Structure formats: structure tokens, C-alpha cells
Amino acid sequence: GAVVSQHPSRVICKSGTSVKIECRSLDFQATTMFWYRQFPKQSLMLMATSNEGSKATYEQGVEKDKFLINHASLTLSTLTVTSAHPEDSSFYICSARALTSGKWAQYFGPGTRLLVL
């Protein structure tokens, strides 16, 4: 299947700093990528839909000025957590849709563990 990578796999930062997370589709092009957040023992929560060459679409309750998304190419989307605070500590997962055997399938990255001190 298609491969999605994320970098970094984990990051620790001080409160008030900004953190950038990269999501790449390695062997396919993705005009659309998705960003999720997952807290311990909970399910994945969709944060936003990232569209190549246009603005991201954010889910209700997700601050677009805090979670900046840039989808500058067909293989790269970035999520920047600005002025991070301890409550932003979470597991961030990106995914991308690929056409496989004539059907769309969604592939997920390995996730990025963010810890804000």
C-alpha cells in the first residue's frame, strides 16, 4: 500500500514555542491530506483537511491560528503548533488518500508525539 511518513516522530518543547510537523506521501501524490489528534485512551479526532494549493478546512473547535497548516506540494503537508502549551501535548497523526485498485483508501502516518513542558 501507499506509504505516509511523518517527521519528527516525537518532540519535546517548552511552553510558548512553535513546533512544525511534516507529513509526506512517499510513493504517491496527495492533493488532500488530513490531520488528526489523539489523546491517551481516546479515538482519533479530525482536526483539519489540508488541500494542496489552497487553505485548509478546519473542524469546529480547532483554532486555525494556532494550528497552521500548509500544503505546498502534492507530497508534503505541514502542521505548525504555534505557541504550544501543555494542553497541546498529544499524538498528531496525518493521513492521505490514495487510489488503490480503483478505490480510494486512506493511509496514515506513524504519528508524532508532542510533549509541551
* Measured distance CA(76)–CA(16) in Å, rounded: 25
- Position of cell 494542553? 87
Please report how close the Cβ of residue 92 comes to other proteins at its closest, in angstroms. 10
How, if at all, do strands 19-25 and 57-58 pair? Answer: unpaired
At its nearest, how many Å lie between other proteins and the CB of residue 85?
A: 22
Residue 17: CB minimum distance to other proteins, A: 23
CB atoms within 10 A of CB 112: 22
Sequence-distant (6+) residues with CB within 8 A of 12 are: 115, 116, 117
- Rg of the chain taking only CA atoms, in angstroms: 14
Please give the residue ranges that form the binding site for other proteins (CB under 8 A): 1, 4, 6, 31-32, 34, 36, 43-46, 49, 51, 91, 93, 95, 97, 99, 103-111, 113
Nearer to other proteins among residue 48 and residue 83 (C-beta): 48
Task: Give the shortest CB-113-to-other proteins separation in angstroms.
Answer: 7
Q: What is the Cα–Cα distance from 74 to 17, expressed in whole angstroms?
A: 28
In the complex with other proteins, the residue whose CB is nearer, 26 or 99, is: 99
Q: Which is nearer to other proteins, 6 or 75 (CB)?
A: 6
Pick 16 or 56: Cβ nearer other proteins: 56
